[in-house]
Amino acid sequence: MLERYGHGGDLLTAEEKFGRSREDFLDFSSNMNPLGPPEAVENILRNQWRDIVKYPDPAVRELRGKIAVKYGVPIESILVGNGAAELIDLIVRVLKPGVTALARPSFSEYEDAVHKAGGRVHNIPLHARHNFVLQKEDVQEAFKQSDALFLGQPNNPTGRLLPGGLLHEIADTGHPLILDEAFLDFVPRESELTMLRRAAVSPHLYVIRSMTKFYAVPGIRLGFVVAHPDIIRQMGQLQVPWSVNFLAQLIGSAVLNDEVFAERTIAWLREENPWLRGELASLGLTVTPSDINYVLCSLPQESALTARELQQKMGEHCILIRDASLFEGLTGSYFRVAVKLREDNERLISVLAEVLSPK
């Protein structure tokens, strides 16, 4: 199993499993921007590495200030963290919900954080017959069964956005809502859809953003959360000092307003997402509509392969895919692939066609 630690992108495990160098693999198992990192990242690493002798700003003031200006939220409503994973953990530790309602399937770290805080999970089913779009009746049941909701906007691994009207209805109820917008930057209407401004003044809405996916710097670990200042203060009291290192702060401040990079990314995805989905469907796969930079697929019922077996065969061809059957709520036929540049996507389709074709 490639997801030994619960994630895609584990090239060291791929090396051990397939006996090839990590440079040999095309990694479709993690969802980073294939255009990145922006040029500013290389400049910082080349020219400012000597400054690591200095402590980072414990309050992350420069980056928080830039986030405040970009998204129109008060600086006191922002906490920057060592990736979205740290912030997920901190929010749950502050709120301490007895029962948290989670969409199924969804990112496993939500459940991990709930269990570490001693809580329980109530499942909100996402149905294949609805293309994994959240349904109002399932949310209404979740209100009765939970102390808080934790939802992805868009969801991982399905790539589906939440219905806009339903999301605002949920926020209007006053039921605590943790919203993970880690991939929302990839959506052209991101500025219309984000709930960051609402979260800054709401006592019951908490919005998490990742900076590592869009800017392709997962090794740096960087994200932020926007919530009411009282919640931000409580999270800050639990956060490890100097959680956000010097280089992460510099890089976050440098890339945040790179509008040219953002426009290139949106233009690439607008063209490549539908092309890849069409090619995957032409292979006989069931392809879930996706709003962002990854696609959830299901093998046909008559297939002799499971997703895990497909992952093994693709890995032997040095292509890594995500076994999505590991997400609770999905069967053994589901796998997920990132959207990459055309040449890489063509290679994916070519190898998939070879592996899936009957011998």
Task: Quote the mean pLDDT of the chain.
Answer: 95
Contacts of residue 327, defined as CB under 8 A and 6 or more positions apart, other chains included, come to 104, 105, 106, 108, 157, 334
pLDDT at 359: 62
Distance CA 146, CA 24 (A): 46
Task: Bin 105: left if φ > 0, else alpha if -120 < ψ < 50, else beta.
Answer: beta
pLDDT at position 253 over 90: yes
pLDDT at 12 over 90: no
Mean pLDDT of the region 322-343:
96
Interval 180-214: pLDDT, tens = 999 999 999 999 999 999 999 999 999 999 999 99
pLDDT tens figures, 133-167:
999 999 999 999 999 999 999 999 999 999 989 99
Please report, as a single letter, which amino acid is at residue 78.
I
| CA gap 357, 354 in Å, rounded | 5
% of the chain beyond a pLDDT of 90: 90
In 3D, which of 38, 290, 329 has the Cα closest to residue 183?
A: 290
Average pLDDT of the residues in 67-74:
98
What would the two tokens of residue 245 be?
Answer: 């290192």
Question: What's the whole-number mean pLDDT along residues 293-303?
Answer: 94
The one-letter amino acid code at 255 reads V
Q: How far apart are CA 2 and CA 320, in angstroms?
A: 9
Distances in whole angstroms, Cα of residue 354 to Cα of each of 99, 301, 313, 317, 337: 46, 18, 10, 10, 17
Please give the pLDDT value at position 286.
97
Question: Which residue type sits at 281?
Answer: A
226-255 average pLDDT score: 97
**Encoded tokens for 109:** 């770290």
Look-up of token digits 């899936």: 356
How far is 352 from 335, CA to CA, in rounded Å? 12
Characterize 94-125 residue by residue with b for buried, 16 or more Cβ atoms within 10 angstroms of its Cβ, and e for exposed.
bbebeebbbbbbbbbbbbebbeebebebbbbb
With beta carbons less than 8 A apart as the criterion, state whether 241 and 58 touch.
yes
Model confidence at 337, pLDDT cuts 50, 70, 90, reads very high
Report the alpha-carbon distance of residue 59 to residue 91 in Å, rounded: 18
Query: How remote is the C-alpha of 26 from its chain's centroid?
Result: 19
**Sheet of strand 286-287, all strands in order from the earlier edge strand to the far edge:** 286-287, 294-298, 334-338, 322-323
